[in-house]
Every structure is written in C-alpha cells, then in structure tokens.
Amino acid sequence: MKAGAAEHIIKDTEMEARSHSMNISLRQAIIQRVQNKSNDELLDVIEDSIGGEERVLPGLGVLFEIIWQHCDSNTQNELVTTLKEHLH
C-alpha cells in the first residue's frame, strides 16, 4: 500500500458516514473499511497513520480499541508499560 493509505481510508470513511446520513457511526465505518484487508494491508494502514495527519487519529483509536478488547491482561499491561516508558 502506498503512502497516504490511512488518510485515504479516513477520508473515504468520513464521506461514507456523511453519505449514509450518519446511519452508521464513524467507528462502524472505519471497521467496515478495514475488515477485509490482509495482514500486510493492515500493517501498512497502521504504519502510514503513525506520525501522519491528525485526521487519521480516530481511525487509529478504533483499531487500538479492537486490539485492546481482544488482548489478555498481560498484553494490556505490556502496552501500558510501553506507553508509560515513552511518554517521558
């Protein structure tokens, strides 16, 4: 996936959500846009989003929420520890 993939997904998702007259939440729209992507495509979306425009942050938040909800407590603690270590 080329640079800008995450931004493209977010822009398309925002337009899709508006065109559905908000019958679908932004969260649901983001999930629908990435649910059939391969592992490599998902990795590209995440990597492209990191350090990108702020408008892609909601998409990263949705992806992180899915990861968090499906991790065991040990993995969640590792993520929190990693975050804490890099906030300084």
* pLDDT band of 88, cuts 50, 70, 90: confident
- For residue 41, the enclosing domain spans 5-85
Asked if residues 52 and 11 have their Cβ atoms less than 8 Å apart, the reply is: no
pTM: 0.71
What is the average per-residue pLDDT within 39-44?
96
How many domains are there within the chain? 1
C-alpha 71/C-alpha 75 separation (Å) is 6
In the predicted model, is pLDDT for residue 11 greater than 90? Answer: no
61-84 in b/e form (b: 16+ CB < 10 A) is ebbeeeeeeeeeeeeeeeeeeeee
Nearest C-alpha neighbor of 9 from the set 43, 32, 38, 39 = 32
